[in-house]
Amino acid sequence: MKNSIYKGQIKRKIFLILSISVFFFNPIMITNSQESDEFEIVEIYGIVVYVELEGGFFGIVSNTEEQYEVINLPIDLQKDELSIHIIAKIRSDLASIYMWGIIIEISEIIEFITDTSIQKFGDVNNDGDINIIDALLIAQYYVGLAPIAFDPRYADLNLDGKIDILDALLIVQYYIAILPRFPCDNIPLIEGSWFLQHYNWQGNVIGEEFITIKRIGNQITIISEIDNEVLGVGSLIINNLGPPYQDRSKYIIKGIDLRELGIENIFIYDDSNMETELPLAESSNPSVFSRVVRILGEYQLIPNPPLTSPAIPGMVYGLIADKNYILTNNNSWYWSEENPEWKGSSPKIGDMVDILGYRTIRTDITGNSYYELEVLQLRTNPNVVQLDIFDDNSILEVNLGTCLRITLEENPSTGYRWEYSLPEGLLELISDNYIPPEDIIPGAPGTRIITLKTIATTEYNFYMEYIRPGEEIPINEFSIDLVVI
């Protein structure tokens, strides 16, 4: 009898220990059985923050102040104040003991910035630190003095278009840890090449050109790529316009009148779409910006996104690279079973292709984002050399202009990542993307695909190491002796 009572007490203790373990070590708990295809999809520009609750964890605060608790944030991205741009599912079927924010599961990491050497907003004297001295310099500038080593491009911390005492107070709050970040943080990544089309109010194209956008702090410079003419210099500010413009975008570029068309504002939608509007009574969109990208990938048929209810099944021509891109020409998809001709080139399914085009991020009827690529230039079977870990320590002789596509296994959940540096003027980085595993299994490795292009005749040792941030010894290496002729 005593023995059976003793066994019962042991079982109850084991059950209690297991229950406590589940509660403390698995704070996310399933609350209902919602199907995965019913989850709301959100696109988030935000910053990773460390939250000191229940032992501490890393969450994301968006640039619209929403708080997100992430169930699958990779270890190498668990860094305080890391800027990040992601696509995620809102996991309304889960609950958490933290009760800090909306629970999400990352579907796609679009971009993150880890380069801490870049001058930051608030560091107005560019000494690498944001402190009381920066606040004093802003105050001196506000009262009409000319402080030494003061850069006003990094001083408008609330992006209201003015440098005043409010910006100095924001630095003081940040310095004494009342304010975790500035309102100007998490600006969309708009720098780089764009294709700009000007329309009149009737919808007719009246001009087209390639431009480059440069940003220094909140100063935006737009340059024509044809003759390097500066088309305008303006300021990036938070959208403080009244009706009907206040809901068009979070940020706007103010003060650039492109081609003297009477443009007052450029509305920034994301890192691939911007639009302007003429100050006319008619609703018109005279200028549309589309991001120009160059992508190397596989030409394939891919499922079209659901745009109607019920969804119409079908396949469209696409490019499989870091993600799936629907290929378009004159803003129309190809549905034909016959291969289309892309301005003189007729690729076959499965071919490697090198495409230059305009990238657009769109949303289907379910809220999922998908990508379109308007083809500008398509080269079939470009000179590409495929490399993987079995090519380590090899000698490779290639012609000038050859692309190197390096595919290596990587597991961000362990904190390890393939790191490398490029010799200036010898190799050009075409793309660097992490492809997660098809089956979302905790701890499963994905694939790092790096595409480089040779741009000079040379002999060079290209070296990569698989290492965790802060450590000195890699656990794996990849090296090739490259001879470009």
CA 242, CA 317: separation in Å to the nearest integer? 42
Can you give the pLDDT at residue 340? Answer: 67
Model confidence at 37, pLDDT cuts 50, 70, 90, reads low
Model confidence at 477, pLDDT cuts 50, 70, 90, reads very high
Can you give the pLDDT at residue 7? Answer: 43
Can you tell me which residue has the tokens 């699958």?
72
Q: Is the pLDDT of residue 14 over 70?
A: no
Can you give the pLDDT at residue 25? Answer: 42
CA 193, CA 290: separation in Å to the nearest integer? 9
Can you give the pLDDT at residue 11? Answer: 43
CA 356, CA 295: separation in Å to the nearest integer? 7
Can you give the pLDDT at residue 116? Answer: 46
Task: Count the helices and strands in the chain (H runs, E runs).
Answer: 3, 28
Can you give the pLDDT at residue 29? Answer: 53
| pLDDT cut 70: percent of the chain above it | 85
Model confidence at 10, pLDDT cuts 50, 70, 90, reads very low
Containing 232, the helix (H) or strand (E) segment is strand 230-238
| Mean pLDDT across 462-482 | 89
| Mean pLDDT across 433-445 | 70
Q: Is the pLDDT of residue 20 over 50?
A: no
Can you give the pLDDT at residue 451? Answer: 83
Of residues 455 and 465, more confidently modeled: 465
CA 352, CA 378: separation in Å to the nearest integer? 10
Of residues 85 and 26, more confidently modeled: 85
223 strand-pairing partners: 212, 230
Q: Is the pLDDT of residue 22 over 50?
A: no
Q: What is the pTM of this model?
A: 0.59
CA 111, CA 86: separation in Å to the nearest integer? 7
pLDDT in tens, 202-232: 778 888 888 999 888 999 999 988 888 888 8
pLDDT in tens, 77-129: 887 777 788 888 998 888 888 888 899 988 888 766 655 456 789 999 888 88
Range with top average pLDDT, 13-27, 282-296, 384-398: 384-398
Judge contact between 357 and 373, C-beta under 8 A: yes
Q: Is the pLDDT of residue 478 over 90?
A: yes
Can you give the pLDDT at residue 113? Answer: 64
Q: Is the pLDDT of residue 383 over 50?
A: yes
Q: Is the pLDDT of residue 241 over 90?
A: no
| Whole-number average pLDDT of the chain | 81
